[in-house]
Amino acid sequence: MLDLEAIAAGARKDPEDLSPLDIQSRHDEAFEVAPVTNEFFSEYARAFGRVEALIQGIADPERGRLFTQRLFNRLMFLAFIQKKGWLAFDGNHDYLNALWRDYRRDGRGENFYRERLKLLFFTGLNTPNEVDVRGINDGGYTRDLIGMVPYLNGASSSGTRTGRTTRIAPSPSRTRLWP
């Protein structure tokens, strides 16, 4: 809805004195995406650099960078399907935060990536529902770790798997990676 009073106040004019150009200029300013885009990519680059510096178990820096990029791509994809309501952890559709809180509450974990995210990417989202890998292991052990997730036909697990020694260290429970 177009609010001429607000536009007039921003232009320091009476609403009746607004020209079509004044209205168009204020409209363009209100919907300018460059500042939001720049802020997003600036924050993304900062978080990417911090995570990349914490990667252990990958000797080649280029492979470490590729690992970090794939991790971020997968997390962005998870955020997308989370927003669609396709993920739930313990009934909570704020999936990533709920998964993280449960991991921290558990207190026994040493590697969030290996113990939760890798299991989610390569087992949970990559196993057809008729196999029900999330429910067969001791009455739902895997489901207890990653929650209810749909089969996505490998959509989040394309690419190479990392070795057992790959980790993001120190543990994210002790390091704040993003605000």
Amino acid at the residue 157? S
Is residue 17 in some structural domain? no
Mean pLDDT across the chain: 78
Helices 61-83 and 34-54 meet at what angle, rounded to 10?
130
Per-residue model confidence as pLDDT tens digits over 69-88: 999 999 999 999 999 999 99
Is residue 48 in some structural domain? yes
> Which two structure tokens, joined as six digits, stand for 56?
């252990």
Is residue 128 in some structural domain? yes
Q: Would the pTM of this model clear 0.95, i.e. be above it?
A: no
- Helix segments in 55-94, DSSP class H: 61-83
State the residue range of the domain holding 44: 34-168
Q: What is the DSSP letter of 72?
A: H
| pLDDT, average across residues 119-130 | 78
Per-residue model confidence as pLDDT tens digits over 22-79: 778 877 877 788 888 899 999 999 999 999 999 888 999 999 999 999 999 999 999 9
Is residue 173 in some structural domain? no
Number of domains the chain is built from:
1
* Contact call for residues 105 and 162 (beta carbons, < 8 A): no
| pLDDT, average across residues 9-21 | 71
| Per-residue pLDDT at 138 | 42
The C-alpha atoms of residue 157 and residue 57 are separated, in whole angstroms, by 19
Is residue 14 in some structural domain? no
Closest alpha carbon to 22 in 31, 13, 32: 13
167 bridge partner residues: 56
SS3 89: strand
- How many alpha carbons fall within 13 Å on the CB side of residue 165? 5
Winning range, highest mean pLDDT, from 35-39, 97-101, 132-136: 97-101
Is residue 157 in some structural domain? yes
In this structure, is the dihedral angle defined by the CA atoms of residues 119, 73, 82 and 125, taken in order, positive or negative?
A: negative
| Per-residue pLDDT at 70 | 93
| Per-residue pLDDT at 14 | 74
Is residue 12 in some structural domain? no
